[in-house]
Structure 1
Amino acid sequence: MVQAGENAPAPQLRPRAPRVSYRHGTAQAALGERGTLAVFGFGAGAAEADDPRWLGVPLEPFDTPAPLEIWQVDADVAHGRDGALRWACGGGWLYLALELDEREHGGPAGTARRAYARLRGFLARCPQQRVLRVWNYLGEINHGEGDAERYKQFCNGRAAGMGDLFADGYPAATAIGHHAGAHRLQVYLLACEQAGMPVENPRQLSAWRYPRQYGPTPPGFARAMGLPAGDALAISGTAAVVGHASAHAGDPRAQLGEILANLEALLANAGMPAGFDTHSPLKAYVRRPADAALVRELLQQRLPGVPVLLLHGDVCREELLVELDGWRYA
């Protein structure tokens, strides 16, 4: 046995959370900075960049020009491609992104299965195997009746493709419908060499325990994820759900109030400071363009100074009009 002080391995440091920020500028400039892990542009007007760390997200912003979303770590970053996969890693963190065409993989279920199987296979070869946060964007998310709804089909395929990837606990996640063509599935994630701490919301039933009425395969995600160093909370898509039921159908004002109550309960359960500040970027996904001005006004009143990216996106239940996700730094 190795005794203390006799060539004992050094304790593994917990990597500092990536810094996520919204900033106006060019993708090339952001990608040229040391430590840039990923850069995201939003909507059809986002300028493209020939770099695996660049991703155009198919959600139109309500405020233009929209800022870039930039992830940065305290280390040099390596990056590349593996077929359709884009990757970047540095400082113990890994960014992975994948886009697939449903017409080539048998619809939403087959495409989700293929996407998650492909991500799982890549992660198995990496030291950063702990998936902490995932984003899923698919077209026409609410189309179809009953179990044929596209979101429910996506959930079926995702579960089949992930296999045992999340056997130790689900990551935080978002699933939102885009309007850039029904056949495009985009998935990207943040993984780490070390595990995070999943956090649930006492006001909400855990998503993987949803009753059968929400589909044959419950959504597999945690309400939030505390990052390994304890310095940040990655918050999943949060809607006006209490228990497992949707609240305030058709009323965006009341739904947003319920969302903010859910977020405060989540922060408290995670042991994070109450409220959000200027370093806590959020996204607000709004189903109906006519509601965007109201949502913007209410968020400015309730969360003054907090950076919010307002995007046109459909929530996974048709009666839900608004969803928020984002980050809270300690």
Structure 2
Amino acid sequence: MGLFLRTSGQGGLAATDPASLCVVWHGSERAPDALRADVHVRLQALRAAHEGAGVAEYWTSDARVQTVRHGQAVCKHDGEWMWVALDTASADAADIATATRHGYDALFAAMQREDFPYLVRCWNYVPHINADQMDDQSGERMERYRLFNRARQEAFQAARQAFEVGAPAACALGSHEGSFTLYALAARRAPRCIENPRQISAYNYPVQYGPRSPSFSRAAVMERSTGDSLLFVSGTASIVGHESLHPGDVAAQTEESLRNIRAVMSQANATQTGSARFDMSRLQYKTFVRHARDAAAVEAVMRRELGSEPIIHFLLADVCRAELLVEIEAVGAAAAGTGEA
């Protein structure tokens, strides 16, 4: 069965289509009623045709979709792919550790109930990600992103999910309002998890970045029934080894982020069979900038490096490290006769 993505950069979306697996709305205002969004990510859209209007992602299947609910988890699946959207409206945004643990516990319980054992991709939006809060375990103040990482890894371990080698692709961005937001793609087959030779794997970061390392792979590759593969690139920033580079220079950080995505894509291509390859110009990008004023400079770099063909959406968000100004994620299908070494 196929899994397909369209976005608001590709024309109208038939939100009432019975093959809809997940509709994600990114915007500071609520989604249009006609969209029937499954997830609302409270981030302001930038550099869109209608500034701030929002960005819609519309994931569909070519098979019959079933919808079930398990507690706070709404699951939509076609027998091969399952999207899980977590209702976190009642979560205490002030206690990110508890909200994260409850969200992931609910996610893993739903995956078990529906027999989708493998996480492919997770999206996390953490209010005030770089702020500190009191840590109940240590009795000291700790950055909320570090508390999120600890709670996420504890949930992975409790569910016996891979939190190092084999962990899903993921991102964690900071929102300025709302509750913790989590949604995920699961499958009945394991993804091919991809790492970046330019970077230490996130799950091996040294202890200076917090008591528990981030539990994600740099990318994940999944085959579709259409005979090709989908590449999910995790949120990618200006990090080489484990260190942030180019502080204060958003253009240089964007260039470094794209070098990292290119390296990940090359690693993914090395795992491909046949002639189909991933290509930077055929991916779709979501780009998160810390400051709205930087969006034009980031877009200029991306268009210079990628050309005019790729769809790029820009959103205002905090990046997981305070010194990082931009983060980029991508998704796309392999195509025959394309790709870069």
Q: TM-score range by the shorter chain?
A: 0.7 to 0.9
Task: State whether residues 147 and 216 of structure 1, in contact with CA within 8 Å, keep that contact through their aligned partners in structure 2.
Answer: no
**Paired residue secondary structure (1:30):** coil
Matches within 5 A, 1:161-172: 161-162=155-156, 163=158, 164-166=160-162, 169-172=166-169
Q: 1:315 aligns with which of 314, 319, 336?
A: 319
- The answer to whether 1:289 aligns with 2:257 is no
Aligned to 1:40: 24
Please give the alpha-carbon distance, in whole angstroms, between the structure 1 residues aligned to 2:182 and 2:99. Answer: 11
> Helix, strand or coil for the counterpart of 1:227?
strand
Q: C-alpha displacement at 1:53, in angstroms?
A: 5.8
Structure-2-length-normalised TM-score: 0.84
CA distance in 2, matches of 1:102, 1:246: 35
Bigger mean CA offset, 226-235 vs 142-151? 142-151
Distance 1:200 1:147 in 2: 32
Deviation per residue, 1:134-162 (Å, 9 max, x gap): 00001100012896000001111111222
CA contact (8 A) 2:23 2:36 kept: no
Q: How does 1:21-60 map to 2 (within 5 A)?
A: 21-23=6-8, 30-49=14-33, 54-60=38-44
Q: 2: distance between equivalents of 1:284 and 1:265?
A: 18
Aligned residue number for residue 94 of structure 1: 82
Alpha-carbon shift at residue 31 of structure 1 (Å): 2.6
- Identity %, equivalent residues: 32
Partner of 2:253: 255
Report Cα offsets for 1:231-270 as digits up to 9, x if no partner.
Answer: 1111100000000000001110000000111111111111
TM-score (norm 1): 0.87
Q: Does 2:104 match 1:119? A: no
Amino acid at match of 2:43: L
State the distance in 2 between where 1:240 and 1:94 align: 31
Distance in 2 (alpha carbons) for counterparts of 1:84 and 1:246: 36
Question: Cα offset for 1:69?
Answer: 0.8
Q: Distance in 1 between matches of 2:114 and 2:194?
A: 25
Q: Write the distance in 2 (CA, Å) between the matches of 1:159 and 1:292.
A: 33
Q: How far is 1:101 from its partner?
A: 5.1
Tell me, yes or no, if structure 1 residue 19 matches structure 2 residue 4.
Answer: yes
Counterparts in 2 of 1:46 and 1:104: CA distance versus 1, 3 Å: closer
- Matches for 1:146-225 after TM superposition, within 5 Å: 148-162=142-156, 163=158, 164-166=160-162, 169-181=166-178, 184-225=179-220
Q: Distance in 1 between matches of 2:278 and 2:259?
A: 11
Change beyond 3 A, Cα 1:102–1:175: farther
What letter is aligned with 1:284?
T
How many angstroms does 1:178 deviate by? 0.8
Preserved CA contact (<8 Å) 2:150 2:212: yes
Please say if 1:266 is aligned against 2:251: no
Shift of residue 26 of structure 1?
Answer: 10
SS of 2:213's partner is: coil
Contact residue 134 and residue 172 of structure 1 kept, 8 A: yes
SS class of match (1:170): coil
Whether contact under 8 Å (1:19, 1:72) holds in the other structure is yes
Closer, same or farther in 2 for the Cα pair 1:103/1:268, shift >3 Å? closer
Gaps of 5+ in 2: 134-139, 271-276, 335-341
Q: Is 1:72 matched up with 2:57?
A: no
CA offset digits 1:170-192 (Å, max 9, x no partner)? 000000001124xx100000011
Instruction: Point out the more displaced range, 229-238 or 46-55.
Output: 46-55
In structure 2, distance between residues paired with 1:79 and 1:286: 34
For residues 39-88 of structure 1, give each alpha carbon's deviation from its aligned partner in whole angstroms, at most 9, with x where no partner exists: 11111334254998621111110123434211111111111433322221
Question: Is the CA contact 2:44–2:54 (under 8 Å) kept in the aligned structure 1?
Answer: no
The Cα shift of 1:25 comes to 9.3
With over 3 angstroms needed to count, the CA separation of the structure-2 counterparts of 1:309 and 1:25, relative to structure 1, is closer
Partner Cα distance (2:144, 2:154) in 1: 15
Inter-partner Cα distance in structure 2 for 1:48 and 1:195: 35
Q: Which amino acid aligns with 1:296?
A: E
Change (3 A) 1:84 1:51: farther
Query: For the residues of structure 2 that align with 1:52 and 1:111, how far apart are their CA atoms?
Result: 25
Instruction: Report the counterpart of residue 327 of structure 1 in structure 2.
Output: 331
For residues 98 and 69 of structure 1, the distance between their equivalents in structure 2, rounded to whole angstroms, comes to 17
Q: Which moves more between the two structures, 50-59 or 268-277?
A: 50-59
| In structure 1, C-alpha distance between the alignment counterparts of 2:87 and 2:173, rounded to whole Å | 15
2:304 corresponds in structure 1 to 301
Larger displacement relative to structure 2 (286-295 or 77-86): 77-86
Once residues 105 and 313 of structure 1 are traced to their aligned partners in structure 2, the CA distance between those partners, rounded to angstroms, is: 16
Amino acid at match of 1:226: V
User: What letter is aligned with 1:302?
Assistant: E
Unaligned runs of 5+ in 1: 1-14
Alignment root-mean-square deviation, CA: 2.4
Residues 257, 327 of structure 2: 8 Å contact kept = yes
- Identify the range of structure 1 (240-249 vs 68-77) with the bigger mean alpha-carbon deviation: 68-77
